Amino acid sequence: MSKPVIATTSLAGCFGCHMSLLDIDERILTLIELVEFNKSPIDDIKTFTKPVDIGLIEGGCCNSENVEVLKSFRKNCKILVSLGECAIMGGLPALRNGIPIEECLHEAYIGGPTVQLNKDGIMPNDDELPMLLDKVYPCHEIVKIDYFLPGCPPRADLIWDALVALVTGDPMKLPYEVVKFD
Amino acid sequence: MENTIKQIVEKYNSNRMRLMDILIDIQESEGYISRDAITTMAAMLDMSQADVEQTISFYHFFSTKPRGKYTVYLNNSPVAYMFGREAIKEAFEKSAGIPFGQVTDDGLIGLFDTACIGMNDQEPAAIINNVVFTRLTPYRVREIVKMMKEGKPMEELRKESFGDGKNNLPSLRSMVSSNIRRKGMILSDDYKYGTVIKEKLPTMSPENVIAEMKHSSIRGRGGAGFPTGLKWEFCRRAKGEKHYVICNADEGEPGTFKDRVILTEKPELVFEGMALAGYAIGGDEGVLYIRYEYRYMKNYLEEVLEKMRNEGLLGENISGIEGFNFDIRIQFGAGAYVCGEESALLESLEGKRGEPRDKPPFPVEKGYLGNPTIINNVETFATAVRIVQNGGEWFTQFGTDDSTGTKILSISGDCMFPGVYEVNWGFNVEDMLDMVGAYDVQAVQVGGPSGTLIGPDEFHRTLGYSDLSTGGSMMIFGKQRNLLKDVVVNFMEFFIDESCGSCSTCRNMTQVMNNKLKKILAGKGVAKDLKDLKEWSKVLNPSRCGLGQTAANPIVSSLKNFRHLYEELLQKDKDFDEGFDLESSVQASCNYVGRVPVFNHH
């Protein structure tokens, strides 16, 4: 049997969930024995080259590119997992959701106290740039998500256990310490 | 202005517990509560400005910006919409030249929405500078706005004929109608107030009074149904410097207006009931906590209290009973539904945000100012007088075994005779619909938004604590109404507005569920959404108070009893659709930065 294929991405996240994935320490050696990585910042494969079994999504969607990537993950992965607070709830980036996008842009590029050099009030509007969404969306509000791994970031052991469970098909242990957050 | 603020604060002895009164007086005299006013009063009350501000920001009728010389608050309950609110709103907007939520540039007129003002039997209704205008028509609105523009005083604006009953009294002069359709022991005219205090209490010990109350099996009329006698007994036994009697006249549940009618027609009975309760629990002081929407009754109710003091029914050594000292003051709220929850009411009474307290301790042990306190509904106090007059045994002949006595219902919506009905418990819904002249009924909302929405196959159910419990609100919806759009969404938005925000469950889940409901209404729903709504509603159960615990009820009960209305709207060919639309969601940012959105459609 060929090895299960995994893909990962960080959308509107801070890469903290990916750092937590690396935090499985030497087990990463076991992991690469068990699975094969496809599109992921870990191996720097930019586009899907084959069908993927498990896609791990860090971060929610704050712009059109995030939406595009997320949709391509849904298309290419059998199972999608929202990894961490931002993917599940929008997280810190979603703090802007209560503020109109116009005000956010104005603060960032024109009115903010640290804006010194933009005398002409230029706004980033090149067609190459992703378009900002009106608010930050959690992933499950855009595509169907199969599993959710909570945490900011989810602990390395939790990610490890979840991957092992998905790969082996065994039920996952979820002791109290794993699901309580204060 | 600073002098005015100082005078107001001093009027309440610079007592921070009276912050609500202080803020109400400032709001009324200045039209808003300015930053300077906050600074001045915070210093005088020895509070931080943030503490003052957080109380201000909690209540709907307080504002830190001017709300106009004439401030219009137009009711937005579903029944108001059913009776033409939309046209009234338009008429106001068109003749004043501003949309709702704004004040005209000259500061003359402010237009604002407000939750149910307790006039559901005479909608559309609005409050303008504390005067209630009922049964508005677009013509009348244009007339009112014209008079505002001419700067006419409120007396002229309300020159219409006055309502029925005591609404005609010089101290009330309101155009509100009491619409009493059926009388029972509370609303009947066969009792002369004061009889119990003068003739019964001198012959009874406080324990006797509590025993009669317990024997009557009366349960609280506010909706929760706690045995009143037991509450009084707990409070009497609890130790504290003082004992308090509080009458809950916050009546914020949309569709309820019976307390307004009781307080208009039988205020003496309510105050006598409070004094009687004071006697029973060893109480020192009573407070009538009444919603700001009923501010128009202020002078009238104060006059009644003064009359009762002069007649020796309130004051010291009442009825010659040594040490029976009891007086009542009136405390107005400032627009917050959650203050009808008893512990939130206490917070408000102490000048704070109306956030419910953790329980236990219950108010009977630690209530107002940390002392033993009973809080009962207007109707409960009024009923108590008749119980003590005639005995607990007499009372049990009315109603059913588990729901004794009578209940005053506030009935509104699609029926011929909306108004107030005092009936014996044990009535079923069908009887009620016959009584009020309601035909072709699609649904009845029993007990306000936090209650149950039932359809014809449940109209045989009985009103009472063991089956269909109600604080008295009954809204009837005819076949022509769109239940989900016109009723359920309205109720969900009501809870979203009125959540105090303390528990994240109630603060967030109401929003999340309402978004889902709206998505279904927009034709984007899938089968899983109905499952989600049902599952997610459970998240609200651990909320601290009744508001949070019942905030999903509009969806839960309509989903249970009118599931087909939801199912008709679902997409049959999809199993996932969150309703996300990329093109519309990038529109605002692209417009702002000046670019044309480009989409790669794969």
Amino acid at B352: K
pLDDT number for residue A181: 61
pLDDT band at B472 (very low <50, low <70, confident <90, very high): confident
Determine what percent of chain A is predicted with pLDDT higher than 70.
97
Mean local confidence (pLDDT), B73-96: 96
Query: Taking all residues of chain B, what is their mean pLDDT, rounded to a whole number?
Result: 94
The alpha helices in B250-409, defined as continuous H runs, are 258-265, 267-281, 298-310, 342-349, 378-390, 392-395
pLDDT classification of A182: cutoffs 50, 70, 90 = low
Terminal Cα distance for chain A, rounded: 42
Residue numbers of B between 557 and 576 with CB closer than 8 Å to A: 575-576
User: pLDDT class for B601, splitting at 50, 70, 90?
Assistant: low
Strand order in the sheet with B70-75: B109-114, B70-75, B126-128, B131-133
Local confidence band at B599 (pLDDT 50, 70, 90 cut-offs): confident
Are the Cβ atoms of A132 and B586 closer than 8 angstroms? Answer: yes
Please check whether residue B247 is in contact with residue B326, taking contact to mean a CB–CB distance below 8 angstroms: no
The segment(s) of chain B belonging to CATH 3.10.20.600 are 406-481
Q: Is the model's pLDDT at B532 over the cut of 80?
A: yes
Q: The tokens of A177 are what? A: 């310490």
The contacts of residue A85 (CB under 8 Å, 6+ apart) are: A91, A92, A150, A151, A152, A153
Enumerate residues 6+ apart whose C-beta is below 8 A from A37.
Answer: A5, A6, A7, A8, A43, A45
Q: How confident is the model at residue A118 (pLDDT cuts 50, 70, 90)?
A: confident
CA-to-CA distance for B542 and B417, rounded, in angstroms?
Answer: 40
Pick among 3.40.50.300, 3.40.50.11540, 3.30.160.40, 3.10.20.30: CATH of B182-395: 3.40.50.11540
Q: What angle do CA B421, B121, B81 make, to 5 degrees?
A: 145
pLDDT in tens, B90-130: 999 999 999 999 999 999 999 999 999 999 999 999 999 99
Domain that holds residue A156: 5-95+135-179
Cα angle at B450 between B294 and B481, to 5 degrees?
A: 90
Q: What is the mean pLDDT of residues B262-283?
A: 97
Mean pLDDT of B589-595: 94
CATH of domain B406-481: 3.10.20.600
Instruction: Give alpha helix (H) positions in B400-526.
Output: 429-436, 489-498, 504-521
Q: For domain B70-160, give the fold.
A: Glutaredoxin (3.40.30)
Residue B228: what pLDDT? Answer: 96
| Residues of chain A with C-beta less than 8 angstroms from the C-beta of B588 | 100-102, 134
Are B600 and A68 an interchain contact pair (Cβ–Cβ within 8 Å)? yes
Q: Which two tokens stand for residue B296?
A: 């128009």
Is A54 part of a structural domain of the chain?
yes
Whether residue A176 has pLDDT greater than 90: no
Whether the pLDDT of residue B473 is over 80: the answer is yes
Distance CA B122, CA B162 (A): 13
Mean pLDDT of all residues in B147-153? 94
ipTM for this model: 0.91
Chain A residues near any Cβ of chain B (below 8 Å): 64, 67-68, 100-102, 105, 123-127, 131-135, 137, 140-144
Give the pLDDT confidence of A35-73 residue by residue, as tens digits: 999 999 989 999 999 999 999 999 999 999 999 999 999
Nearest CA-CA distance, residue A153 and chain B, Å:
21
Per residue in A143-167, pLDDT (tens digit) is 999 999 989 999 898 899 999 898 8
* Least CB–CB distance from B593: residue in A123, A133, A135: A123
Q: State the average pLDDT over residues A3-18.
A: 96
Quickly tell me which residue has 């508005």 as its tokens: B136
* In chain B, ranges of CATH 3.40.50.11540 domains: 182-395
Q: Please give the biggest Cα pair distance in chain B.
A: 90
**Residue B578: its chain A contacts at CB < 8 A?**
140-142
Distance between CA B6 and CA B40 in Å, rounded? 7
Query: Average pLDDT in the B126-141 region?
Result: 95
Run of H or E including A105 = helix A101-106
Query: In terms of Cα–Cα distance, which of B166, B182, B202, B76 is closest to B424?
Result: B182
Contact A125 B595 (CB under 8 A): yes
What is the number of domains present in chain A?
Answer: 1
DSSP per residue, B548-573: HHHTTHHHHHHHHH-HHHHHTTS-SS
Evaluate if residue A2 carries a pLDDT over 90.
Answer: no
Where are the domain boundaries for CATH 3.40.30.10 in chain B? 70-160
Q: Which of B239, B279, B516 is nearest to B385 (CA)?
A: B279
**Residues in contact with B110: Cβ distance below 8 Å, sequence separation at least 6, in sequence order:** B66, B67, B68, B70, B71, B72, B102, B103, B104
CA distance B132 to B112: 14
Is A33 contained in some domain? yes
pLDDT tens-digit series, residues B343-369: 999 999 999 999 999 989 999 999 999
Number of C-beta neighbours around residue A162 at 10 A: 20
Strands B419-424 and B406-413: antiparallel
Q: Which letter does DSSP use for residue B485 in this model?
A: I
CATH code of residue A34: 3.40.50.700
Is the pLDDT at B517 greater than 70? The verdict is yes
Q: Look over chain A and give the mean of its residue pLDDT values, rounded to a whole number.
A: 92
pLDDT digits (tens, 9 = 90+) for B395-446: 999 999 889 999 999 999 999 999 999 999 988 999 999 999 999 999 999 9
Average pLDDT over residues B510-532: 95
CA-to-CA dists, residue B548 to B249, B338, B447, B486, B488, angstroms: 21, 10, 16, 22, 16
In the structure, what pLDDT confidence band is assigned to residue B31 with cuts at 50, 70 and 90?
very high
Contact indicator for B181, B419 with CB cutoff of 8 Å = yes
Q: What is the pLDDT of residue B347?
A: 97
What is the C-alpha to C-alpha distance for residues B220 and B203, in angstroms, rounded to an integer? Answer: 26
Q: Three-class SS of residue B513?
A: helix
Q: Has residue A120 been placed in a domain?
A: no
Residue B598 forms contact with A (CB below 8 Å): yes
Task: Point out the residue among A68, A133, A143 whose CB comes nearest to the CB of B585.
Answer: A133
**Cross-strand bridge partners of residue A80:** A55
Quote the pLDDT of residue B467.
86
CA distance B58 to chain A (A): 19
CB pairs under 8 A between A and B: 52
Strand partners for B410: B420, B473
In a domain? residue A122: no
